[in-house]
Amino acid sequence: MSTLKADIVICGAGIAGLWLFNYLKRKGFNALLLENDAIGCGQTIASQGIIHSGLKYVFTGQVNELAKSISAMPALWRKALKGEGPVDLSAANVTATSQHFLFRSGFKGSVTGFGADLMAKAGSIGNNARRIKKSEWPASLTEVGFSGTVLSMDELVLDMQSVLHALAAPYQESIRKADMLKDIDFSLDHSGNIERVTIKNQTIIAKRYVFTAASANKILADRLGHGTGLETQVRPLLMGMMQNAPCELFAHCMEVSPKPVVTITTHRAIDGKLIWYLGGSVAERSKDSDPRDVFAAAQKAFRKYMPSVDLTKVSWSTLPIDRVEGKSKVAGHLPNSPTIHIWRNAIYGWPTKLSFSPILTNQIAESLSNAGVKPSGQETDWSFLPKCSFTQTPWDLTIWKHAT
Ligand SMILES: Cc1cc2nc3c(=O)[nH]c(=O)nc-3n(C[C@H](O)[C@H](O)[C@H](O)COP(=O)(O)OP(=O)(O)OC[C@H]3O[C@@H](n4cnc5c(N)ncnc54)[C@H](O)[C@@H]3O)c2cc1C
């Protein structure tokens, strides 16, 4: 048995692990990223790819902490997309540069007073949301027969597969396959410090071990005796998917609840077909709900907001998936920021939202810096472990059904 050295071992190649990994590799850290399935296969590829600017969160009636903290994120992502940030996303594709909030005619959202109030709140968090005249609407909104008030905001939607490639591909030799709950033996000292890990008869000693494996983090933390004070939560979704979508649309359909009735993002499947990916209230249900309930809720929303949409040629599917994050102070809500839990030389992290990944990495980097952990500039050959491939999108993996 030989001993290999790493600066940092990261477990879990979702956006949290990948953003950190790319950041560390660019700084010269000898980092190893371990993943038990495929790169990005969890919540990250299941996400809608929206880099939130905070507007969605001011609908609660007040400018809350979440709206304020997330509103700073688009600037960090834009910098990374230009190749000017601490991670390089210049190879990633932007699917949309703006999104629309739709308020139907006759609904209070179409009243100028509400819109003005909302935009004042948006302005207070630096959001440039603005009401747009019909002549400025994207053609797709007229095509689907929408009638009402439209707010436009510069909120990016990213092609998540290209984000995964941008972060991982330059350093793929250091991304390897291993299950931290099954394949890795952790040796601890009496205080819970991880002294070394053993995988496939090889010992690895790292300066820090970072866990970004979503729900598996808590299991491991409890197993290693690191779980004191750590609470997490899981919020299920049954996301809707619609194949042969009529046009490109990036929209939140709003009603009285702060949560959109449906949030639509558009994607292109590998066979070229247009996909609508449907989140918001239509998806807020347990993962084992009847998929037909999602289709019915989406169809109901379409009848109200886009009566001209032809659904005769579309096929449907669903994706059951959990959002995993630190425990919020308010039941059923998401926390206002990423969650980080540090125990000796182990760091556990949950970004809460894709958008917050830069902040989680900053917090972990600060913890490394405070502990005097510096990049060694070395590279280790990790080829004793299998390579890890990239995940596919949910719409390329699913089996499509016609709505009943
Ligand atoms: C349907 C949906 C839509 C969303 N849309 C948005 C959005 O538009 N904008 C936004 O900002 N946020 C969005 N979010 C939230 C966002 O996707 C998540 O906060 C983020 O992707 C979490 O990243 P992560 O890296 O912590 O987790 P994950 O992406 O789940 O990654 C965890 C990784 O760890 C790996 N892993 C698990 N167990 C082990 C193990 N035992 N050993 C090794 N590896 C392991 C997994 O295979 C996975 O690759 C959405 C979430 C969902 C579910």
pLDDT digits (tens, 9 = 90+) for 326-368: 999 888 788 889 999 999 999 999 999 999 999 999 999 999 9
On the 0-12 / 13-18 / 19+ scale of CB atoms within 10 A, 154 is: middle
Q: How far is the CA of 44 from the centre of ligand 1 (A)?
A: 4
Q: What number is the average pLDDT over the span 125-152?
A: 90
- Residue 124's pLDDT is 67
The model carries a pTM of 0.96
pLDDT tens digit sequence for 242-272: 999 999 999 999 987 778 999 999 999 999 9
Contact 339, 326 (CB under 8 A): yes
**332 contacts 244 by C-beta, under 8 angstroms:** no
195 within some domain = yes
Q: Is the CB of 157 under 6 A from ligand 1?
A: no
**What is the structure's pLDDT at 116?**
62
Q: Are strands 184-188 and 194-199 parallel, antiparallel or unpaired?
A: antiparallel
The pLDDT of residue 255: 86
pLDDT tens digits for range 279-327: 999 999 999 999 999 999 999 999 999 999 999 999 999 999 999 999 9
Atom number of ligand 1 nearest to Cα 49? 8
Q: Which of 244, 245, 401, 239 is nearest to 316 (CA)?
A: 401
Which has the higher per-residue pLDDT, 153 or 221?
221
CA 232 to centroid of chain Cα atoms: 17
Ligand 1 proximity of 141 Cβ (cutoff 6 Å): no
Nearest alpha carbon to residue 338 among 311, 314, 316, 356: 356
- pLDDT recorded at residue 35: 98
Is residue 308, in this structure, part of any structural domain at all? no
- Determine the structural domain holding residue 30 and report its residue range: 3-44+162-232+329-393
Within a domain: 380: yes
Query: How much distance in Å is there from the Cα of 289 to the middle of ligand 1?
Result: 21
Ligand 1: centre distance to CA 42 (Å)? 5
Q: For residue 358, is it within any domain?
A: yes
> Which of 164, 354, 364, 391 has most ligand 1 atoms within 8 Å of CB, for mutation?
354
Token code pair at residue 105: 């005619």
Per-residue confidence (pLDDT) for residue 129, from 0 to 100: 83
Q: Is residue 387 part of a domain?
A: yes
Determine if ligand 1 sits within 6 Å of the CB of residue 241.
no
Whether 204 has a pLDDT exceeding 60, the answer reads: yes
How many Å lie between the centroid of ligand 1 and the Cα of residue 393?
A: 13
Which of residues 55 and 387 earns the better pLDDT score? 387
Query: What is the residue with the minimal CA distance to atom 15 of ligand 1?
Result: 353
- For residue 182, the ligand 1 atom closest to its alpha carbon is 41
Q: What is the DSSP string of 309-359?
A: ---TT-EEEEEEEEEEEEPPSSTTSPPSS-EEEEETTEEEEE-SSGGGHHH
Nearest atom in ligand 1 to the alpha carbon of residue 352 is 19
Q: Which of 21, 43, 181 to mutate for ligand 1's pocket (most ligand atoms within 8 Å of CB)?
A: 43
29 is a domain residue: yes
User: Does any domain span residue 207?
Assistant: yes
Question: Are β-strands 3-11 and 31-35 bridged in parallel, bridged antiparallel, or unpaired?
Answer: parallel
Ligand 1 neighbour 42 (Cβ under 6 A): yes
Nearest CA to ligand 1 atom 6: 47
Number of domains present in the structure of the chain: 1
Q: Which two tokens stand for residue 249?
A: 């649309």
57-63 contacts at long range (C-beta below 8 A, 24 or more positions apart): 57/258, 58/118, 58/121, 58/122, 58/125, 58/127, 59/118, 59/254, 59/258, 59/259, 60/258, 61/258, 62/121, 63/121, 63/124, 63/125
For residue 107, what pLDDT band results from cuts at 50, 70 and 90? low
Q: Which two tokens stand for residue 79?
A: 């910098």
CATH number at residue 335: 3.50.50.60
CA separation for the pair 143, 186 (Å, rounded)? 58
User: Distance, CA 15 to ligand 1 centroid (Å)?
Assistant: 7
Contact 89, 167 (CB under 8 A): yes
The pLDDT assigned to 68 comes to 83
151 is a domain residue: no
